[in-house]
Structure 1
């Protein structure tokens, strides 16, 4: 008996209490007693159980405890206890501790043992009232740009299940795009918020370094390249998340983001970059999408000027070495930094290949670290006359599953990653904020996104631009795919999901 065919796309939007609403609208309905937290949680769980056999975005389910928490939230509402996102269901990426849930880092090398505490950023997120349904998937240690763990099923892109959902926050992005939850945790050490957001047609903002509370791993790095955040379907969910996060903790060294509710209308000077510094030319669809976005902004009164990439020519090699250093550190010190039972014999081909690469090139590290640290100053100087810079998110459109599998021979996989992940790492090294915004679609019905990078502390400008584009060129949602765009298998799958829900 042959295996059933995988449908082309998958979503769970339907006429339950979640409907097609974003987190901000759902939270308002909870505050107005139009829906209860328990009703919303049950709907999200039903959607997760219906969709995950196809998209594989859930690393660990926490449904029973989530329902207990939902019941307590409803009881607290009667006492007047409120927070903006109280009762909104979400998933936390499986590289971040939540008390009582195992943190596997997407790897078989890490034992499945419940965490004894909650990570600092997770506390900042959950303080906003979010309700954790469980953990979302990622590739091993977040090193890959596609969520294809060697030990389990790949996380599929809900827009087209034959394609990657991106990484490393691929599980969160897939769950949000498919309508399981309206917002989910993501973090970004080389593009891991913006890449999956771009693949799945979401808003993905990597904040300025230090804007949000760092988790333990970021604080221990020679150069902190990791930022925490979320992926969402609307700009205002991202803006409201940042505003609420600052109510919990505000970095006094950065200007406050504040409560950004829409576009300001002020004209901006925006730089334009089409090709990366690593020698790989951007593909035609991606380039065209960026150029069309630039023209759209010009028609809205903004000034667009081509600019060189504000970085040293050695940046691609330096960042690659730093990436390899992280893999070397995990394999060498995993028992100290992750768990005493960490087993490096169970790491995947990409982690092992990066480890070997660092051991061959470790002598380059001092100079590479100096230049990476210097990139903050170079970037700040180059941005002095600009409000933002428009670039592609990725070097080419979303690949099919298997293209970036950790089972691909390392040299081939690494070169593919260099061609694909050629724009996002600069914001990690420099600490600058950057946002991924949907801007187009491929013939295979996959989203194509653009990136805006801002000045340090300039999230408010990036949100301004995002609101402007959202209002003037609304990006499609998965439920808006025309019926004629879908295969018969996809229509059957959608009907089946609707029956289940």
Structure 2
């Protein structure tokens, strides 16, 4: 298969760049879809990021209702195999139990993607139900980091992260229930924004009231792509329980200006957890860099009971995933999760959470409320919080302690392992805050290391504005201008 665009040129194009070429008639939506398909054929055997390419949409990008006048008109787009439904397509959620599950309708957000001009042409890997940190069950698939195939992509937006990092596609869908947009973005060298609660809709099957910790989003290689994605896909559906954030000025316009001088609190010690010495040194470099841009940077930690914060997040996860599995079992007329079709830790989570009471949920929500109020008070003195995206280095493939194929008998000890490495991201999900991972640093072994920033509710634009300022200062050279070893430019 010949490609329409030289791979080096393709790797330098973001989604808006591809859309511009399509709008000018220099390439067609079918040609760029074929380009992505070729990238998948060449690199997916190594990284195992893409489950399926929709050949019918590759051959006819308008066949599924893509808006040819949208901002991203003709731009190829992958859906994470979890979250919004795509009519007529499989959604198997990384689980053997869900194989063959086919969606009967488009979710509201799927329709927004199509209206924005995105050509939904495939789906990417995720761990079972998105619960753990890596798409890494040998009986399903093992998704590998394009920078070094011996390492995980983390998750749960695993395939999305790897496919964007490898240069196959410039933008792809991701979800975040505790860091699942930001963590794999940090590990793979992408830009990953987890938006505020009340930006992207979960309709019709969910709402912000029901699914309080989870958020939708994307991975990109440029800030302008993320800004345009939020601008054109945001908004509530009829019947939302909560108000949706609006902005007077589009983020695409806002990011053209540098932010005011920001007050940035820096920390890596969160409760019982702290980063490794090398990650701390990279954090200090980033803090100094931001100070060099004219911002006020100071070491400060939010006044929170962080131990209670992690306990509340653990409770939320146990209740949420237990209910998810219970619903599936009911649909399949099963009384108990089959051990040959559901991974061990998912079964243990179900066992722990299936009898949770309304009082248990109220206790969790009360703690969420208390944490959110304390964070809001902290943000009265600070504009942003800067942390690393992770507290420990990227795990090697086969590090089972973070996986749902773990044989750890204790659900709570298993979650403790997760929080010890993913220490900084969950609070955004508890409080509904926006958070972003930017590819500004690297680990000792050369793998990317994201730098993570939090802002008050509704201040997503401030994160993007600072990201755009950094991107301009770097001349667009995220990851110090480096590319992964497994990348389209090597085809």
Q: TM-score range by the shorter chain?
A: 0.7 to 0.9
Asked whether 1:438 is paired with 2:421, we answer: no
Deviation at 1:102, TM superposition (A): 1.1
Asked whether 1:349 is paired with 2:350, we answer: no
Asked whether 1:422 is paired with 2:415, we answer: no
DSSP-derived class of the 1:18 partner: helix
Partner of 1:3: none
Asked whether 1:270 is paired with 2:264, we answer: yes
Deviations for 1:392-431, whole angstroms, at most 9, x for unmatched residues? Answer: 1111121111113333222464443121121111000100
Q: Write the distance in 1 (CA, Å) between the matches of 2:425 and 2:332.
A: 30
What's the TM-score once normalised by structure 1's chain length? 0.86
DSSP-derived class of the 2:424 partner: coil
1:24 paired residue among 16, 21, 34: 16
What's the TM-score once normalised by structure 2's chain length? 0.88
- Seen in structure 2, the aligned counterparts of structure 1 residues 294 and 217 have a Cα distance that, compared at 3 Å, is farther
1:94 paired residue among 81, 85, 91: 81
Deviation at 1:477, TM superposition (A): 5.4
Deviation at 1:332, TM superposition (A): 2.2
Deviation at 1:273, TM superposition (A): 1.6
Q: Write the distance in 2 (CA, Å) between the matches of 1:372 and 1:66.
A: 44
Q: Write the distance in 2 (CA, Å) between the matches of 1:35 and 1:494.
A: 19
Residues 332-371 of structure 1: pairs in structure 2 closer than 5 A: 332-336=326-330, 344-345=337-338, 346-358=341-353, 365-371=361-367
1:145 paired residue among 133, 136, 149: 133
User: Between Structure 1 and Structure 2, how many residues are aligned?
Assistant: 470
DSSP-derived class of the 1:432 partner: coil
DSSP-derived class of the 2:61 partner: helix
Partner of 2:314: 320
Q: Which moved more, 1:255-264 or 1:437-446?
A: 255-264
Deviation at 1:311, TM superposition (A): 3.3
Q: Write the distance in 1 (CA, Å) between the matches of 2:149 and 2:86.
A: 29
Q: Which moved more, 1:323-332 or 1:42-51?
A: 323-332
Q: Which moved more, 1:361-370 or 1:422-431?
A: 361-370
Deviation at 1:331, TM superposition (A): 2.7
Asked whether 1:480 is paired with 2:482, we answer: yes
Partner of 1:107: 95
Q: Write the distance in 2 (CA, Å) between the matches of 1:475 and 1:353.
A: 44
2:41 paired residue among 49, 59, 63: 49
Asked whether 1:409 is paired with 2:407, we answer: yes
- Seen in structure 2, the aligned counterparts of structure 1 residues 53 and 369 have a Cα distance that, compared at 3 Å, is same
Deviation at 1:286, TM superposition (A): 1.8
CA RMSD of aligned residues (A): 2.9
Deviation at 1:73, TM superposition (A): 9.2
Q: Write the distance in 2 (CA, Å) between the matches of 1:434 and 1:331.
A: 28
8 A Cα contact 1:310 1:382, kept in partner:
yes
Q: Write the distance in 2 (CA, Å) between the matches of 1:353 and 1:438.
A: 35
Asked whether 1:15 is paired with 2:7, we answer: yes
Residues 71-470 of structure 1: pairs in structure 2 closer than 5 A: 82-95=69-82, 96-149=84-137, 151-216=139-204, 218-219=206-207, 222=210, 224-246=212-234, 253-256=244-247, 258=250, 259=252, 260-277=254-271, 279-313=272-306, 314-336=308-330, 344-345=337-338, 346-358=341-353, 365-403=361-399, 404-410=402-408, 411=410, 413-470=414-471
Deviation at 1:111, TM superposition (A): 3.7
Deviation at 1:105, TM superposition (A): 1.1
Deviations for 1:38-79, whole angstroms, at most 9, x for unmatched residues? Answer: 1111111110111111111112221233321258999x9xxx
- Seen in structure 2, the aligned counterparts of structure 1 residues 329 and 221 have a Cα distance that, compared at 3 Å, is farther
- Seen in structure 2, the aligned counterparts of structure 1 residues 134 and 102 have a Cα distance that, compared at 3 Å, is same
Q: Write the distance in 2 (CA, Å) between the matches of 1:272 and 1:405.
A: 30
8 A Cα contact 1:148 1:405, kept in partner:
yes
- Seen in structure 2, the aligned counterparts of structure 1 residues 215 and 393 have a Cα distance that, compared at 3 Å, is farther
Q: Write the distance in 2 (CA, Å) between the matches of 1:44 and 1:248.
A: 31
- Seen in structure 2, the aligned counterparts of structure 1 residues 275 and 66 have a Cα distance that, compared at 3 Å, is same
8 A Cα contact 2:282 2:441, kept in partner:
yes
Q: Write the distance in 1 (CA, Å) between the matches of 2:118 and 2:145.
A: 24
- Seen in structure 2, the aligned counterparts of structure 1 residues 479 and 467 have a Cα distance that, compared at 3 Å, is closer
Deviations for 1:443-478, whole angstroms, at most 9, x for unmatched residues? Answer: 322100111101111011101111122222454459
Q: Which moved more, 1:267-276 or 1:252-261?
A: 252-261
Deviation at 1:307, TM superposition (A): 2.1
Deviation at 1:299, TM superposition (A): 1.2
- Structure 1 unpaired stretches of 5+: 1-12
DSSP-derived class of the 1:214 partner: coil
8 A Cα contact 2:144 2:150, kept in partner:
yes
- Structure 2 unpaired stretches of 5+: none
8 A Cα contact 1:94 1:106, kept in partner:
yes
